[in-house]
Amino acid sequence: MRFVEGIAEIDDLDAFLARVDEIADEYGVTVQAFDARYVVGRGHLERAAELADRAIERDENVARERAVEILLYAAGRRQIDQSLEMGVGEGRRPIVALVDGEGADGEGANGEGVNESNAAGAVADLLEPAATLGEFDRARVREFFGVVDAELAAVDGDLADVVLERVALLDVEK
């Protein structure tokens, strides 16, 4: 699994997403792009991918595509339309894209990691290089995940820990 970070200037969302899908298909990998302002860190997306794969293996997935199932887990929601807010949109915004050559069956589609690396490079070509992973917007994350002051005061952790809990609890809510 690789993460590609940068700033995207998206004038045509459909064209951008079509290009991301082309890259995924060309290299036989999963690519899911996120608005980095919602991603609390690397572990957020790693855990989402792990849980999405488990759901697919158990035939409990909501989405037909692995990338969308990962988005659902990252957003902590079972409704695709509600999860899309965490995805990319038109305009200039920070992006983090997950590029993964592993499938739900654990079989690597990337051999020695070549396809994953090449796909990550192709995604990087769509972005202006910038560090975005973990540079989340606290207020935006709190609102999106419904994290209130009382919850933060009651936990042994920080906002990122609460979000990771939301991702994990999605399985319980099914």
The CATH number of 2-173, from 3.30.2380.10, 3.40.50.620, 3.40.605.10, 3.40.50.1980, is: 3.30.2380.10
Residue with the bigger pLDDT between 104 and 54: it is 54
Encode pLDDT of 61-90 as tens digits: 989 999 999 999 999 998 888 899 999 999
Is the pLDDT at 152 greater than 90, yes or no?
no
- Rounded Cα distance between 107 and 141, Å, is 33
Place of tokens 């993460």: 3
Q: Are 88 and 96 in contact (CB under 8 A)?
A: no
- Residues with Cβ within 8 Å of 110's Cβ and at least 6 positions away in sequence, in order, are 27, 28, 29, 101, 102, 116, 117
**Which pLDDT does position 106 carry in this prediction?**
41
Express each pLDDT in 85-133 by its tens digit. 999 999 999 999 999 987 544 444 445 478 999 999 999 999 999 999 9
- Residue 147 has a CB neighbour count (10 Å cut-off) of 18
Question: Average pLDDT, whole number, for the chain?
Answer: 89
Residue range 8-29: mean pLDDT, rounded? 96
**Domain boundaries defined on the chain:** 2-173
CA distance 106 to 39: 24
* pTM of the predicted model over 0.75: yes
The Cα-based distances of 89 to 12, 22, 30, 51, 153 in angstroms read 9, 18, 19, 25, 33
Torsion angle of C-alpha atoms 96, 25, 70, 121, degrees rounded to 10: -20
Give the SS3 label for residue 99: strand
